[in-house]
Amino acid sequence: MTESKQHNYAGVFDNRIGFGVRPALLCVDFVRAYTTEGSPLFAPQVIGAVRETVEVLKAARSAGIPVIHTNVCYTPGAFLDGGVWLKKLPALKMMVPGAPLAETCSEVRPAPGEPVLTKHYASAFFGTSLAALLTAAQVDTCILVGCSTSGCIRASAVDAVQHGFRAIVIRECVGDRHPDPHEANLFDIASKYGDVVGKDEALAYLAGLPRRV
């Protein structure tokens, strides 16, 4: 009889790291390409993740914590800034300046003063100033929302812990093209790289933070 993955991982890959004391909210690639039917990148699950994130975004802003957004954008023509990544995923060539599908979803649009980092690869840390930004803000906890779970969320969670930050993924606020990679990667993140928490737990944590100005 094959044992369950939960039993197999128990006591080795099931530890919780918990929230720290100085969090930031990282909104990863909530762009219209993932929520617009007919787009090659359309991921229906992301529509719900955007909707669920609205309340989290409001809570983060009320708590006065840093809110950082990312998008993906390439230089059209030779697409040199996409490197081998675009050879593997040529559909991403739609993400160019001015393209409507490259715009952030209106429900979670950055507020004035919130940084927007443009990335060229999966991780929000790779090739960006994110780690330096978080360190300068004395952040110890990176709360992740966005898409896709198996791509940019997973890569960003891995890099978060590798840069010394607690990675916290809000289950309801991330999405993917299909439930199987979504669930598999949430399981893997929770097992090895960070915590996967429910939205209610995250909101309670944000509500309990001392107000930062």
Query: pLDDT tens digit string along 85-122?
Result: 999 999 999 999 999 999 999 999 999 999 999 999 99
Active site residues: 152
User: Which whole number is the average pLDDT over 44-66?
Assistant: 97
Tell me if 88 is assigned to some domain: no
Structure token pair of residue 74: 């390439």
Tell me if 213 is assigned to some domain: no
Tell me if 79 is assigned to some domain: no
Band the pLDDT of 15: cuts 50, 70, 90.
Answer: confident
User: Which whole number is the average pLDDT over 195-207?
Assistant: 98
**pLDDT, mean over the chain:** 94
At residue 12, the pLDDT reads 55
pTM: 0.93
At residue 10, the pLDDT reads 60
Tell me if 6 is assigned to some domain: no
Task: Provide the residue range defining the domain that includes 55.
Answer: 20-73+104-207
| Domain count along the chain | 1
Tell me if 199 is assigned to some domain: yes
CA distance 208 to 203: 9
Tell me if 5 is assigned to some domain: no
**Strand-strand pairing, 195-197 and 141-147:** unpaired
Tokens 């990667």 sit on residue: 185
**CATH number of the structural domain spanning residue 48:** 3.40.50.850
User: Which whole number is the average pLDDT over 168-179?
Assistant: 97
Checking if the pLDDT of 210 tops 60, the result is yes
Tell me if 25 is assigned to some domain: yes
